[in-house]
Amino acid sequence: MADTVLAHRASRPFQPWMLAAGLVLPAAMLSLLSLAGTLPPALWTQALLAPDMSDIRQLLFYDSLLPRSAAAVLAGAALALAGAIFQQVLRNPLASPSTLGISAGAKLALALATLWAPGLFAFGSEWVALAGGAGALAIVFALSWRKGLSPLAVVLAGLVLALYCGALAAALVLFNEHYLLGLFIWGNGSLVQQGWSTVTRLAIQIAVVGGLLALMIRPLTVLSLEEAGAQSLGVSLHGTRLAALSLAVALSAFVVSGIGVFGFIGLIAPALARLSGARRLRDQLVWSPVIGAGLLWLTDQLVLRTGGIAGGILPTGAVTAVFGSPLLLWLLPRLRTAAAPPRSEAAPGSVSVGRPALIVGSLAILLALGLVLSLTLGRAPDGRWAIAGFAELSGLMPWRAPRALAALFAGGMLALAGCILQRLTRNPMASPEVLGVGAGAAFGLLLAIYTVSAANRELLLAASCAGAFAVLAVIVLLSRKTGFSADRVLLAGIALGALCDALVGAITASGDPHALLLLNWMTGSTYQVDGPQAVWAAGCAVVLIGLTALCVRWLDLMPLGDAPGQAVGLNLNRVRFILLGLSAVLTAAGTLVVGPLTFVGLMAPHLASRLGLRRALPQLAGAVLVGGLLMLVADWLGRMIAFPWQMPAGLIATLIGGPVLMWLLARK
């Protein structure tokens, strides 16, 4: 009998408590080491019961390290519990506060209220964050409603919304530099504490919401049934979903308002709980918070142990995003979706409208007029609008011409890269910004800046190209098995972009003097563009556009699928490699000038297609002209809107392009 029991125990699979112990015990040991390194254990009782205010070690022990560990445990548990609820209610294993845009919406709401409506905090910061998170979830549902709230559509809408909210938050930080460090560190999830007030408030909030969720375990379990089965058991599916989603949003908002944004904890912990054997909802709601608490606690302790490397202020939230993005990529192939890619609007089978040569010629004339107006129309030092004559132009050209030309050529290169990617992946939503190619280029550039003391422009371009090409290569590898399914390509790109952005955030949050310069560049600033840089951008654009023109035949065939290309003897692997390389170099060169977030690579090919330019060569030419015009106008608006202050051209293009991207997502 004993042998049978032992054999049964030995054959039992991995259990959730084993994983939880594997996270909590190392975190506790590291925490004890940190505490012992700050204060001798003999003084711990005194520091806990009656800390000596004159002893800095006891104050650090009681008011900083202990509440920091408690904040990590509470935040990790709350986000994990919220993620488990989202995944159960939406029947979506990728749903979490970060992938649904809820954390980003709460963060943006807090930033807006801090700068422009501080009176709202009289009711409590958690209510401001709750409004932002609820608004973000409502937008996500609106964007994915016509697609039946399918798992991929919901997550894709959430990630796109988070991307746009991040761009808006970057704009707020850029124009409030005196708040730069605080907003940047808080926005990336910092667990630094200066007392117990935040932790106490968060503990009460989590206890209340957790108690309400405990009362809903049975109705939440019934959510897995169909409508008729749930009604026969006396459960209102709509009411239960609304109540559960409201409580999950509240948990997310409480963490964001009290501590900051921690990426992907709500995704990782429930996934790990299920993988370790928690199959029933009751078990998932118990073990997900424990695993989430242990994971964030352990991550924070590792950050503390390596704090000297990053100046002691490395945001824990950015580090969790570094772990979470690979998990999102790993979970992505396990979602069911149609393998057949949708037909792109750029497909050559579409009927062209009008005469392509006439349309392209009109766009060229419009671009020339835009360039003339950009160089001549502006505001005088007293704020009045004025058109510069020939006499004034000689003095203004060295200031206006380099920026205008650099923005024009960078916009053309990003638009061309987006057109190539859309035709190559047969995905009308593909672009350097959405697929994370721009973020990869930014990460490559960041590494070059931080590792090479005097990096020249050629080295920066090579590093950016390497980062962009690496992202594209990973996307291709992850998407080939599904025939480049649109949703999978986009989610893979956004996950990689989030990973690169998290790495960039973790490095720049170290307090290095390069941080502000890098933030200006990431928002698309052309402030420091001079004549040689404009000439360099023009040279890159001319060469790369010429090389792309040689690939027109391939780009005509790629939207039709693999069969036509194979029928005419194309080596598809080599063709994809060349086209990906071209798009990577185009993205890197454009990104060096106007930053990684512009959405020009998404908008320009669509606008060219709307004008009737469907075949490869006309669409490529139209996209280049439209992209150049968009960035030229964005640069001019950036110089004029808030005169005498200036807004980055890339940021203006992002603020315009974000709603366009969401509109495209909302279409059937």
The single residue listed with the structure tokens 């149609």 is 338
The pLDDT value given to residue 454: 67
pLDDT at 339 over 50: no
Between residues 255 and 237, the one the model is more confident about: 255
Whether the pLDDT of residue 346 is over 70: the answer is no
| pLDDT score at 347 | 41
* CATH node for 35-331: 1.10.3470.10
Mean pLDDT of the region 576-597: 83
Nearest CA to 246 out of 280, 212, 279, 273 is that of: 212
Q: What ranges do the domains of the chain cover?
A: 35-331, 405-666
SS3 category, 545:
helix
Q: What CA–CA distance (Å, rounded) separates 507 from 510?
A: 6
How many residues in the chain?
668
Calculate mean pLDDT across residues 357-370: 93
- Please report the pLDDT score of residue 508 as a whole number: 62
Output the CA angle 74-75-80, nearest 5 degrees: 100
Q: Round to whole Å and give the CA distance between 609 and 615.
A: 9
Distance of CA 223 to the CA centre of its chain: 30
Interacting residues of 70 by C-beta distance below 8 A, sequence separation 6+ = 196, 199, 203
How much is the pLDDT for 328? Answer: 65
pLDDT digits (tens, 9 = 90+) for 26-48: 999 999 988 888 888 888 888 88
Give the tens place of pLDDT for each residue, 540-583. 999 999 999 999 999 988 887 777 777 777 788 888 888 888 88
CA distances from 135 to 75, 106, 115, 261 (A): 21, 9, 19, 17
Per cent of the chain over pLDDT 70 is 81
* Helical axes 390-425 vs 531-549, angle rounded to 10°: 40
Selected residue with higher pLDDT from 633 and 563: 633
Highest mean pLDDT out of 126-135, 161-170, 345-354: 126-135
pLDDT at 520: 62
Cα–Cα distance for residue pair 152/149, rounded to 1 Å = 8
> Residue 377 in contact with residue 387, Cβ under 8 Å?
yes
Could you give the CA distance from residue 533 to residue 592 in angstroms, rounded to a whole number?
A: 10
Q: Which two tokens stand for residue 542?
A: 């001319």
Highest averaged pLDDT of the listed ranges 171-185, 304-318, 422-436:
422-436
Task: Write down the residue that tokens 């995944």 correspond to.
Answer: 87
d(CA 48, CA 59): 10
| pLDDT tops 80 at residue 331 | no
Confidence of residue 485 (pLDDT cuts 50, 70, 90): low
Cis before 644 (ω within 30):
yes
Q: Is the pLDDT of residue 340 over 50?
A: no
Cα–Cα nearest to 502, from 446, 461, 462, 585: 446
Query: Of residues 349 and 615, which shows the higher confidence score?
Result: 615
pLDDT on residue 659: 84
CATH 1.10.760.10 fits 405-666, yes or no: no
How many Cα atoms occupy the beta-carbon half-sphere of 543 within 13 Å? 10
pLDDT at 408 over 90: yes
Using DSSP, how many helices (H) and how many strands (E) does the chain show? 29, 2
Instruction: Please report the pLDDT score of residue 620 as a whole number.
Output: 94
Taking alpha carbons only, the member of 596, 571, 608 closest to residue 423 is 608
R_g of the chain, CA atoms, integer Å: 27
Q: Rounded to the nearest 5 degrees, what angle is found at the Cα of 464, between the Cα atoms of 459 and 468? A: 150
The predicted pLDDT at position 72 comes to 94
CB atoms within 10 A of CB 257: 26
The answer to whether the beta carbons of residues 404 and 374 sit under 8 Å apart is: yes
Question: What confidence score (pLDDT) does residue 350 get?
Answer: 42
Whether 449 has a pLDDT exceeding 80, the answer reads: no
Q: Are 523 and 171 in contact (CB under 8 A)?
A: yes
Residues 6+ apart with CB under 8 A from 296: 72, 73, 75, 76, 79, 262, 265, 316, 320
pLDDT at 651: 78
Q: Which span out of 314-328, 378-392, 519-533 was modeled with the highest average pLDDT?
A: 378-392
Name the residue among 638, 658, 660 with its Cα closest to residue 167: 658
pLDDT number for residue 289: 96
- pLDDT band with cut points at 50, 70 and 90 for residue 368: very high
Q: Amino acid identity of 632?
A: L
3-state secondary structure (DSSP) of residue 378: strand
The average pLDDT across 408-420 equals 93
User: Helices in 306-434 by DSSP H: which ranges?
Assistant: 316-331, 356-376, 390-425
What CA–CA distance (Å, rounded) separates 524 from 597? 7
Q: Which of 31, 183, 187 is nearest to 115 (CA)?
A: 183
Residue 30, amino acid: L
Mean pLDDT lowest for which of 129-138, 246-255, 575-584?
575-584
- Indicate the angle between helix axes 265-275 and 66-90, nearest 10 degrees: 70
- 646 vs 653: CA distance, rounded Å: 14
**pLDDT at residue 655, rounded to an integer:** 80
Mean pLDDT to the nearest integer, 282-293: 93
Consecutive H or E run containing 14: none
Give CA–CA dist 45/299, Å, rounded.
Answer: 27
Average pLDDT of the chain is: 80
Residue 387: its H or E element: strand 385-387
Tell me, yes or no, if the two domains 35-331 and 405-666 fold the same way: yes
Report the predicted TM-score, pTM, of the whole model to 2 decimal places. Answer: 0.77
Nearest-CA neighbor of 492 among 299, 266, 335?
335
As a whole number, mean pLDDT of residues 201-226 equals: 87
Residue 163 has pLDDT above 80, yes or no: no
Amino acid at the residue 128 = V
How many Cα atoms within 13 Å fall on the side-chain side of residue 625? 24
Interior CA angle at 305 toward 304 and 307, to 5°? 60
Question: What CA–CA distance (Å, rounded) separates 492 from 569?
Answer: 30
Q: Which residues, in sequence order, are CB contacts of 328 under 8 Å at separation 6+? A: 94, 99, 264, 267, 491, 495, 498
Residue 9 reports pLDDT greater than 50: no
pLDDT given at position 10: 40
| Non-local CB neighbours of 229 within 8 Å, separated by 6+ positions | 222
What average pLDDT score do residues 434-449 get?
A: 79
CA 316 to chain CA centroid, Å, is 17
CA 64 – CA 41 distance, rounded (Å): 16
Q: pLDDT tens digits, residue range 486-507?
A: 566 766 777 777 777 777 666 6
Region 230-235: mean pLDDT is 61
Residues 156, 485: Cα–Cα separation, whole Å:
13
* Res 207: pLDDT: 95
Q: How confident is the model at residue 306 (pLDDT cuts 50, 70, 90)?
A: confident
Top-confidence residue, 617 or 99: 617
Residue 558 DSSP one-character state: G
